[in-house]
């Protein structure tokens, strides 16, 4: 059985005080139960302090992005080994905001994915279509293109230590959640793409859903056979909202 992963992407939010309060609240409220884990991804400046606060708890820590380079003259960038060095276990790569606002190509995302793994981090690879692409019937083609860049660069074996997040762009921050059936359809497709390359790996990979997930809709999404957790933006910014999703995960 795949574990459920409930991951909070805090994006560019909070302050030292607010983010410490947030992680402390989450650590204090981890629901009883098994078969799920929690992850928070704060902005870079707060990572070390959040790692320290979460130490010894069931809450893991990841970053929201990473350089594809190992070290050197890349002003403003953060190397994968640096994230590992300060206690991060995961890193999000290819979030649609990075792709759309900062021009990250699927090839650059694949390079980040590989670099993260080399440093011992677990990449969370985000894929997903825009509303226009969905309306054009291009959802699978778009997702396949994003996945293929990583299959080509890193190989199917690399998914032994990776998570995929399906985040339909039209559902991010809009309050428009994909229905459990809509999400399941794409998750199943993603797993079939993995299975075409390696059936065992396909069975192991956690595929998270992201896009306006919250306490009220989490149970329905998590009940789907190929939805193995969530990557949560807005509802990860208040401990109680995030813990409501964690509680749904604890009951699956």
65 counts as binding ligand 13P under rule CB under 6 A: no
For the annotated catalytic residues, the residue numbers are: 95, 167
Residues near 118 by beta carbon (within 8 Å), at least 6 away in sequence: 70, 80
Nearer to ligand 13P by Cβ, of 65 and 118: the residue is 65
Residues near 16 by beta carbon (within 8 Å), at least 6 away in sequence: 45, 46, 49
**Segment holding 244, helix H or strand E:** helix 239-250
Q: Figure out which of the listed residues 22, 39, 163, 172 binds ligand 13P, where binding follows CB under 6 A.
A: 172
Nearer to ligand 13P by Cβ, of 117 and 212: the residue is 212
In the complex, what is the shortest distance from the CB of residue 92 to ligand 13P, in angstroms, rounded to a whole number?
A: 7
Write the binding mask 7 to 46 for ligand 13P: x where contact by CB under 6 A, - elsewhere: --x-------------------------------------
129 counts as binding ligand 13P under rule CB under 6 A: no
DSSP structural state of residue 177: P
Nearer to ligand 13P by Cβ, of 95 and 191: the residue is 95
Nearer to ligand 13P by Cβ, of 9 and 158: the residue is 9
**Interacting positions 204-243 with ligand 13P (CB under 6 A):** 210-213, 231-235
167 counts as binding ligand 13P under rule CB under 6 A: yes
62 counts as binding ligand 13P under rule CB under 6 A: no
Pairing between strand 163-166 and 90-93?
A: unpaired
In the complex, what is the shortest distance from the CB of residue 169 to ligand 13P, in angstroms, rounded to a whole number?
A: 9
CB 25 within 8 A of CB 239: yes
Rounded to whole angstroms, the Cα distance separating 232 from 11 reads 10
- Piece in contact with ligand 13P (CB under 6 A), picked from 19-27, 129-137, 166-174, 192-200: 166-174
**What is the end-to-end Cα distance of the chain in Å, rounded?**
12
Residues that bind ligand 13P (CB under 6 A): 9, 95, 167, 172-173, 210-213, 231-235
């Amino acid at each position: 059985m795949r574990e459920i992963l409930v991951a909070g992407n805090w994006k560019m939010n909070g302050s030292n005080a607010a983010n410490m309060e947030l992680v402390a609240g989450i650590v204090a409220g981890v629901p009883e139960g098994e078969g799920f884990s929690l992850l928070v991804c704060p902005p870079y400046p707060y990572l070390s302090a959040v790692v320290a606060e979460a130490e010894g708890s069931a809450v893991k820590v990841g970053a929201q992005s990473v350089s594809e380079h190992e070290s050197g003259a890349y002003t403003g960038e953060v190397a994968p080994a640096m994230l590992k060095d300060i206690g991060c276990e995961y890193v999000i790569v290819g979030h649609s905001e990075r792709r759309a606002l900062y021009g990250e190509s699927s090839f650059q995302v694949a390079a980040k994915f590989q670099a993260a793994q080399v440093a011992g981090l677990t990449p969370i690879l985000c894929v997903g279509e825009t509303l226009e692409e969905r309306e054009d019937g291009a959802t699978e083609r778009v997702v396949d293109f994003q996945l293929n860049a990583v299959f080509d660069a890193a190989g199917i074996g690399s998914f032994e230590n990776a998570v995929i997040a399906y985040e339909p762009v039209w559902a991010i921050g809009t309050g428009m959640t994909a229905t459990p059936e809509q999400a399941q359809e794409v998750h199943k497709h993603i797993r079939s793409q993995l299975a075409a390359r390696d059936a065992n790996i396909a069975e192991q990979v956690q595929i998270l859903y992201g896009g306006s997930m919250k306490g009220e809709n989490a149970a329905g999404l998590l009940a789907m056979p190929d939805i193995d957790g969530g990557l949560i933006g807005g509802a990860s910014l208040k401990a109680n909202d995030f813990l409501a999703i964690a509680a749904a995960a604890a009951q699956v």
